[in-house]
């Protein structure tokens, strides 16, 4: 039998070795420093970026009325509780009046007495007025008689004297009457004062609204300045929002916004920026702004609830735009990796505004139409060789 | 009787002593022997008689203690090796045939035989050509590509003989070549040895105690207790 | 001359290759172990390099912020930004914590970065999906090792964040993947306790009579508010302006601001020298053991292979084969085994390295060194077999 040129087992062995070497070479090419890094790219387009500002806020009431006594005392009664709706002028509670009621009664009695004094003075004046009338008539009669030389001058003088006395008396009586009237006024003023003090013990709602908090129960001793009830106007809820100072150029009153309340994470409510506070927060480096919802949702959001606020600024002019994942810092300069003829080149750029989805304006450095790297499997440097893929390996769709 | 001056192999007063002093053992005592080219002699004796020792000395595998050994026309031993490279001596001048074929299991038949010329420096193609020629001479060239495991005992033995002969050594030492074989095969092997010896003018020494083949030798050396003496053999021809 | 080693292998190549594969798996394990160490060092380097930071400003006398806890006030960055040579300075916080998504908890390092966009110190260097943070609250960029995807809602302490971007190879020095969030969220997560603790603390404060003055009702609220403020960060990261040397800028900060400043080289020293040092020694010891085991196995295999053909070796010697030829045959087999082992080992390590939870970095240099070591080991291991082969007396081929 002729010996075969190459034995089958030799062939098999050679085959296995060749396979091993091929695998080995494949491994070296794929995973060593010679390997190409997979990247994804995108074409730089010209897009009008609509930057938006994002801040976190707290739901607050525009006006909060804290109702309490103006002087120390004991809380007598509280008629409403948290969550009750109240009307302007409604009695919400009362401090313990102590002796005020008695003082009012006393003043009332004093007023009655003053009134009685007026009546008495009036009677006295009428009396004096009658007397003066008589004395005047007498004096005139005696004057006539004196002219007729029927009586003595002395008698006439007496009558004239009586007339003068009667007039003086009348004046005195009138003055007395004035005094009595003034007394009435004083008594009335005293009564008014006592009544006002009494009214001060009543805690009254200043506006229509909702009782938000209640801090004391009847019987508690309070000092002036402590509040018993907090009333808010539910229609005046707004959001006290804080925006990072870094990228909030353009925040001003009147801009439309969208608010997401923490408790209702799925709904985005329409709102409007009312004003930007003139004083920012230097410690937290934030601007403060007030944002009002266009329609207050029912049920009301709780005071103090967190809300996320996005303010949309008007879109800027179209400019070359890249995703913010494309922006890298290399050797101290900010730029993008431009793909040219299968290799990458670092192009420094100047970035402008960005929107909340990461689209970043390029002010300088790109014309538009270039292909830039978006995602890469590893960090890139000038020596990296790339291969463009649809999706970076290891990331599931 | 062979001509004492013709090439072949000749030993004179060869002795081998193992050990020293009181425990010394004389395995060979002043052995004389010579074999002419083309001659096939038998070397017989009981076990322990020294025949293996003699074979090992003849094969330049162990060093004798005293005496003289001439291979062809070269004195290889005269109370000391006269040749520096014994390995080359063996490779070029002595062919070994053993009880078992002792083929290299990972070489095929051709390469087993070709190995010897290759070791002598012969290029591979030429070595293989000579190997195939030898295989043909021994009638086993139809198995030239087979591995030893695929060969029958007789085929293996023939290839072993081919290996021993391929370098045309002047001497072939065969150690019990027919021990495991039946009489028909044994006679076949001895017949081949006789034919090859005649064809290539090789001196062949066969150590054996196989009764089947002893009658075929014309000359026989008998060893006992280290002493050897020549005998005339039967010289029975092959049928 | 034919190749005796080659012929011997060819005759039973399956066994030989199989043995080589077994040795290769052992070598692969060794390479992987070295890769684990390299991965740890690489993690540390990536941690330091990816944020583009040149200087780390931390609390005085600490090794922070990675090796030790460090706290600086969060307005320190302003003073640092005004120093000559500082191009950009930004606050950063680090905290390792459990982050939950649905039912799953992932142990990660939450990094609080100052808003300012890509390229600022502390921001992730590159993304593999999504975008960088744009809002200053409740967004997160996570490493892919967390298993999160863009759009996932994750819970960090008290707040839910939406994953808006993914990055890769951003891990802490202990291998936890990083999640980047806005600085204020991270400050709150780090310093503000959970709700129950806050309520208890409020009660305790309110029970203190010093804060409950009837004539000053706002004092209690003010005190409670001040307790919820968290004005600390872990470090300020600084990027240098071109042309300034790191030490030149670091020295004034150290002296005048009484802070500790580390350059990149010093941080590497700290991370690799202190944090990883013990692990490195562990791994080094293991590598030594593996090397010894490999050597022993190769020696054993070669010895066995040689002993299996000791009779043939005796015959070869008898028929005139040189000792050097026989030694070379054995050596060739040992080297062949080693080469197969290295190839299989490198292949196996490359194939199973990504399965490891932590980064395993297989350097080509390591494979080269391993090749050299394996060849040396094979040579040394074959010495035993060669000695045995050479000792064989060709006379044994000739029967007794």
| pLDDT over 80 at B4, yes or no | no
Give the model confidence (pLDDT) of B170-199 as tens digits: 889 988 888 777 788 888 888 888 888 888
B115/C10 Cβ within 8 A:
no
- In this prediction, residue C214 has a pLDDT band, given cuts at 50, 70 and 90, of low
Q: Environment class of residue B113 by beta-carbon count within 10 Å: exposed (0-12), middle (13-18) or buried (19+)?
A: buried
How many whole angstroms from its chain centre is CA C397? 59
CB contact under 8 A, B143 and A4: no
- Catalogue the E-assigned strands of chain B: 9-18, 25-35, 40-44, 66-71, 74-78, 94-97, 171-175, 203-207, 219-224, 227-232
Confidence of residue C178 (pLDDT cuts 50, 70, 90): very high
* In the predicted structure, residue B5 carries a pLDDT above the cut 50: no
At residue C143 the predicted structure's pLDDT band, cuts being 50, 70 and 90, is very high
- Nearest neighbour of C115 by CB, restricted to A246, A351, A375: A246
Where helices occur in chain A by DSSP H, the ranges are 8-31, 100-147, 153-200
Q: Check whether B239 has a pLDDT greater than 70.
A: no
pLDDT in tens, C322-365: 889 899 999 988 888 888 898 899 889 988 988 888 888 888 78
Q: How far is B3 from chain C (nearest CA, A)?
A: 29
pLDDT-wise least confident of A1-5, A75-79, C267-271 = A1-5
**For range B220-237, the mean pLDDT:** 81
Question: What mean pLDDT is predicted for residues A117-137?
Answer: 92
Q: What is the mean pLDDT of residues C123-135?
A: 89
What percent of chain C lies above the pLDDT cut of 90? Answer: 19
Range 325-344 of A in CB contact (< 8 A) with C: 325, 327-329, 331-332, 334
SS3 B217: coil
Structural contact between residues A136 and A163, judged by C-beta atoms closer than 8 angstroms = yes
Cβ atoms < 10 Å from Cβ of B227: 16
Is C210 part of the contact surface with chain B (CB cutoff 8 Å)?
Answer: no
Which of A71 and A29 is assigned the larger pLDDT?
A: A71
- For the cut 60, the answer to whether the pLDDT of residue C82 exceeds it is yes
Q: Contact partners of C by the rule of 3+ C-beta pairs under 8 A? A: A, B
Q: Do A283 and C165 make contact, defined as CB atoms within 8 angstroms?
A: no
- Give the neighbours of chain A: at least 3 Cβ pairs within 8 Å: B, C
Q: For C277-326, how does the pLDDT look when each residue is reduced to its tens digit (9 = 90+)?
A: 888 888 889 888 988 888 888 888 888 888 888 888 888 888 878 889 89
DSSP 8-state secondary structure symbol assigned to residue A281: B
Task: Give the closest of C11, C325, C393 to B106, CB-based.
Answer: C11
Q: Name residues whose C-beta falls within 8 Å of residue C158's C-beta, 6 or more positions apart in sequence.
A: C188, C189, C192, C194, C195
Whether C164 has a pLDDT exceeding 90, the answer reads yes
DSSP assignment of A106-156 equals HHHHHHHHHHHHHHHHHHHHHHHHHHHHHHHHHHHHHHHHHHTT-S-HHHH
Strand (E) or helix (H) holding A44:
none
Q: What is the pLDDT of residue A32?
A: 64
pLDDT band at A190 (very low <50, low <70, confident <90, very high): very high
CA distances from C137 to A72, A307, A353, C9, C72 (A): 46, 11, 19, 68, 22
Answer yes or no: do C119 and A328 touch at CB < 8 A: yes
Backbone angles phi, psi at B181, to 5 degrees: -100, 155
Alpha-carbon dihedral sign for residues C298, C299, C300, C301: positive
Of A294, A305, A254, A303, nearest to A276 (Cα)?
A254
More confident: A4 or A154: A154
CB B91 within 8 A of CB B83: no
Average of pLDDT values for B4-24?
80
Residue C131 has pLDDT above 70, yes or no: yes
Q: What is the pLDDT of residue A3?
A: 46
Q: Which residue has the tokens 């060593």?
A: A32
Confidence of residue A352 (pLDDT cuts 50, 70, 90): confident
The shortest C-alpha distance from B195 to chain A (Å) reads 25
CB-nearest to A33 from C17, C340, C364 is C364
* Spatial contact of B177 and B193, defined as CB atoms under 8 Å apart: yes
* pLDDT (0 to 100) of residue C107: 93
CB–CB of C158/C189 below 8 Å? yes
Contact C398 B59 (CB under 8 A): yes
Residue range B118-159, pLDDT digits in tens: 988 889 999 999 999 888 888 888 888 889 999 888 888 889
Q: Strand A269-276 and strand A286-293: pairing?
A: antiparallel
Residues of B in contact with C322 (CB under 8 A): 87, 119
In sign, the C-alpha dihedral spanning C377, C380, C381, C382 is positive
In contact, C111 and C180? CB cutoff 8 Å: yes
Chain C nearest-CA residue for A359? C131
The pLDDT-based confidence of C161 (bands split at 50, 70, 90) is: very high
Q: Identify the closest residue of chain B to C393 by CA–CA distance.
A: B61
Q: Which residue of B has its CA nearest to A3?
A: B145
Mean pLDDT of A241-249: 77
User: Of A51-60, B115-124, B221-230, which gets the smallest average pLDDT?
Assistant: B221-230
Please name the residue of chain C whose CA is at the shortest distance from the CA of residue A16: C17
Reported pTM: 0.70
From chain C, the residues in CB contact with B91 under 8 A are: 319-320
Contact yes or no for C135 and A356 at CB 8 A: yes
**Minimum-distance CB partner of C126 among A32, A355, A376:** A376
CB distance from B128 to chain C under 8 Å? no
**Pairing state between β B203-207 and B171-175:** parallel
Whether the pLDDT of residue A370 is over 90: the answer is no
Return the half-sphere exposure (C-beta side, CA atoms, 13 A cut-off) of residue A372: 26
Over residues A79-97, the mean pLDDT reads 89
Instruction: Indicate yes or no: CB of C315 within 8 angstroms of CB of B56.
Output: no
User: Residue A71 has what DSSP assignment?
Assistant: S
Q: Is C307 on the interface with B (CB under 8 A)?
A: no
pLDDT range class, residue C193, cuts 50, 70, 90: low
C262: nearest Cα among C46, C44, C66: C66
Average pLDDT over all residues of chain C: 86
- CA dist A283 and A300 (Å) reads 32
Q: Which of residues 71-110 of B touch A (CB under 8 A)?
A: 108, 110
From residue A239, alpha-carbon distances to A65, A305, A358 in Å are: 18, 9, 26
Check C131 against A357: CB less than 8 A apart.
yes
Whether residue B144 and residue A4 make contact (CB cut-off 8 A), yes or no, is no
pLDDT higher than 60, residue B6: no
pLDDT band at residue A6, thresholds of 50, 70 and 90? Answer: low
The three-state secondary structure class of B109 is helix
Q: How large is the average pLDDT for residues A359-363?
A: 89
Decide if B86 touches C, using CB distance below 8 A. no
Question: What pLDDT, in 10s, does the model give residues C52-81?
Answer: 889 999 998 888 788 888 889 888 888 888
- CA–CA min distance C300, chain B (Å): 21
What pLDDT, on a 0 to 100 scale, did the predictor assign at position C108? 93
Where does residue C148 rank: exposed (0-12), middle (13-18), buried (19+ CB within 10 A)?
buried
Position B236 pLDDT exceeds 80: no
pLDDT tens-digit series, residues A15-33: 888 887 888 788 777 766 6
From B167, which residue of chain C is nearest by alpha-carbon distance?
C319
Residue A204 forms contact with C (CB below 8 Å): no
Residue B37 CA to residue B169 CA, distance in Å, equals 10
Shortest CA distance to C28 belongs to which of C307, C332, C350? Answer: C350
pLDDT in tens, B90-107: 888 888 888 888 888 888
Contacting residues of B for A1, CB less than 8 Å apart: 142-143, 145-146
Interface of A with C in 239-278 (CB under 8 A): 244, 246-247
Nearest CB partner across the interface for C394, out of B61, B124, B147: B61
Residues of chain B in contact with residue A5, where contact means CB-CB under 8 angstroms, are none
C-beta atoms of C13 and A13 within 8 A: yes
Q: Is A367 exposed, middle or buried (0-12, 13-18, 19+ CB in 10 A)?
A: exposed
**Which residues partner with B17 through β-bridges?**
B26
Residue B2 has pLDDT above 50, yes or no: no
* B125, closest residue in chain C (CA to CA): C1
Short-list C155, C157, C161, C156, CA closest to C135: C161
What is the arithmetic mean of pLDDT over A47-58? 86
- A118: confidence class by pLDDT, cuts 50, 70, 90: very high
Q: Residues of A numbered 1-60 whose beta carbons fall under 8 angstroms of chain B's beta carbons: which are they?
A: 1-4
* Distance of alpha carbon A218 from alpha carbon A197, whole angstroms: 20
Residue with the larger pLDDT of the pair B209 and C237: C237
> What is the predicted pLDDT for the residue at C109?
92
Please name the member of A225, A354, A394 whose beta carbon is closest to the beta carbon of C134. A354
Q: Are the Cβ atoms of B108 and A2 closer than 8 angstroms? A: no
């Amino acid at each position: 039998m002729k010996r075969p040129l190459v034995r089958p087992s030799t062939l098999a062995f050679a085959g296995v070795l060749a396979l091993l070497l091929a695998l080995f070479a494949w491994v070296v090419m794929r995973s060593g420093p010679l390997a190409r890094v997979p990247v994804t790219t995108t074409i730089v387009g010209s897009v009008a970026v609509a930057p938006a500002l994002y801040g976190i806020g707290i739901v607050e009431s525009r006006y909060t009325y804290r109702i309490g006594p103006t002087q120390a005392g004991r809380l007598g009664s509280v008629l409403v509780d948290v969550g009750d709706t109240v009307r302007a002028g409604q009695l919400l509670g009362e401090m313990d009046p102590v002796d005020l009621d008695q003082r009012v009664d006393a003043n009332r009695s004093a007023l009655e007495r003053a009134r009685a004094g007026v009546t008495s003075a009036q009677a006295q004046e009428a009396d004096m007025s009658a007397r003066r009338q008589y004395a005047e008539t007498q004096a005139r009669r005696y004057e006539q008689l004196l002219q007729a030389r029927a009586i003595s001058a002395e008698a006439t003088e007496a009558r004239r004297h009586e007339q003068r006395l009667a007039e003086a008396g009348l004046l005195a009586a009138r003055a007395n009457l004035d005094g009595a009237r003034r007394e009435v006024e004083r008594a009335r003023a005293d009564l008014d004062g006592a009544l006002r003090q009494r009214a001060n013990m009543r805690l009254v709602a200043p506006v229509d609204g909702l009782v938000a908090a209640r801090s004391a129960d009847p019987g508690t001793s309070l000092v002036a300045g402590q509040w018993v009830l907090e009333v808010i106007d539910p229609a005046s809820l707004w959001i006290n929002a804080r925006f990072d100072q870094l990228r909030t150029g353009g925040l001003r009153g009147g801009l439309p916004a969208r608010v997401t309340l923490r408790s209702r994470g799925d709904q985005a409510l329409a709102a409007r920026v009312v004003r930007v506070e003139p004083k920012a927060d230097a410690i937290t480096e934030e601007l403060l702004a007030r944002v009002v919802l266009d329609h207050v949702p029912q049920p009301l959001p709780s005071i103090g609830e967190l809300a996320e606020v996005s303010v949309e600024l008007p879109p800027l002019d179209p400019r070359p735009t890249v995703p913010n994942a494309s922006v890298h810092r290399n050797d101290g300069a900010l730029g993008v990796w431009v793909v040219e003829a299968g290799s990458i080149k670092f192009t420094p750029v100047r970035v402008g505004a960005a929107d909340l989805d990461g689209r970043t304006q390029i002010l300088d450095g790109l014309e538009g139409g270039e292909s830039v790297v978006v995602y890469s499997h590893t960090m890139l440097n000038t020596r990296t060789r790339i291969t463009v893929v649809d999706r970076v390996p290891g990331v599931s769709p | 009787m062979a001509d004492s001056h013709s090439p072949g192999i000749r030993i004179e007063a060869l002795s081998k002593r193992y050990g020293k002093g009181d425990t010394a053992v004389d395995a060979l005592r002043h052995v004389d022997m010579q074999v002419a080219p083309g001659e096939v002699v038998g070397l017989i004796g009981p076990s322990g008689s020294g025949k293996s020792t003699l074979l090992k000395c003849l094969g330049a595998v162990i060093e004798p203690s005293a005496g003289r050994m001439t291979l062809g026309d070269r004195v290889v031993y005269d109370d000391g090796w006269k040749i520096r490279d014994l390995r080359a001596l063996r490779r070029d001048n002595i062919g070994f045939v053993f009880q078992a074929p002792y083929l290299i299991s990972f070489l095929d038949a051709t390469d087993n035989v070709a190995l010897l010329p290759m070791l002598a420096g012969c290029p591979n193609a030429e070595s293989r050509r000579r190997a195939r020629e030898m295989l043909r001479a021994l009638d086993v060239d139809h198995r030239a590509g087979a591995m030893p495991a695929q060969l029958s005992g007789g085929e293996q033995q023939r290839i072993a003989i081919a290996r021993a002969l391929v370098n045309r050594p002047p001497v072939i030492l065969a150690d019990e070549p027919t021990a495991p074989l039946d009489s028909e095969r044994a006679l076949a092997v001895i017949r081949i040895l006789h034919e090859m010896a005649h064809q290539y003018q090789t001196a062949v020494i066969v150590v054996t105690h196989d009764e089947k083949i002893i009658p075929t030798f014309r000359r026989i050396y008998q060893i006992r207790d280290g002493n050897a003496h020549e005998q005339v053999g039967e010289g029975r021809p092959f049928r | 001359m034919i190749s005796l080693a080659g012929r011997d292998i060819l005759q039973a190549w399956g066994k030989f290759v199989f043995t080589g594969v077994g040795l290769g798996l052992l070598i692969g394990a060794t390479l992987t172990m070295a890769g684990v160490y390299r991965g740890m060092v690489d993690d540390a380097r990536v941690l330091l390099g990816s944020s583009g930071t040149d200087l780390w400003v931390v609390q005085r006398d600490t090794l922070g912020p990675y090796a030790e806890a460090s706290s600086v006030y969060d307005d320190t960055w302003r003073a640092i930004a005004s120093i000559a040579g500082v191009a950009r300075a930004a606050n950063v916080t680090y905290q390792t914590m459990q982050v939950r998504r649905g039912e799953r908890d992932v142990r990660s390092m939450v990094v609080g970065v100052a808003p300012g966009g890509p390229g600022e110190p502390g921001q992730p260097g590159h993304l593999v999906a999504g975008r960088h943070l744009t809002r200053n609250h409740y967004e997160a960029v996570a490493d892919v090792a967390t298993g999160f995807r863009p759009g996932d809602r994750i819970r960090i302490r008290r707040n839910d964040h939406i994953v808006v971007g993914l990055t890769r190879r951003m891990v802490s020095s202990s291998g936890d993947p990083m999640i980047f969030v806005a600085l204020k969220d991270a400050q709150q997560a780090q310093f503000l306790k959970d709700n129950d603790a806050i309520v208890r603390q409020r009660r305790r404060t309110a029970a203190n009579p010093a804060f409950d003055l009837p004539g000053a009702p706002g004092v209690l609220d003010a005190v409670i508010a001040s307790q919820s403020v968290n004005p600390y960060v872990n470090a300020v990261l600084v990027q240098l302006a071109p042309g300034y040397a790191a030490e030149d800028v670091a020295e004034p900060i150290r002296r005048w601001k009484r802070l500790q400043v580390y350059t990149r080289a010093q941080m590497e020293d700290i991370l690799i020298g202190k944090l990883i040092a013990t692990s490195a020694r562990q791994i080094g010891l293991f590598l030594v053991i593996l090397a010894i085991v490999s050597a022993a196995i190769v020696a054993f295999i070669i010895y066995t292979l040689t002993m299996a053909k000791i009779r043939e070796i005796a015959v070869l010697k008898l028929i005139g084969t040189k000792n050097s030829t026989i030694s070379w045959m054995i050596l060739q087999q040992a080297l062949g085994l080693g080469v197969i082992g290295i190839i299989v080992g490198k292949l196996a390590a490359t194939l199973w390295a990504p399965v490891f939870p932590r980064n395993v970095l297989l350097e080509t240099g390591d494979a080269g060194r391993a090749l050299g070591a394996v060849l040396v080991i094979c040579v040394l291991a074959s010495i035993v077999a060669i000695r045995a082969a050479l000792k064989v007396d060709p006379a044994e081929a000739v029967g007794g």
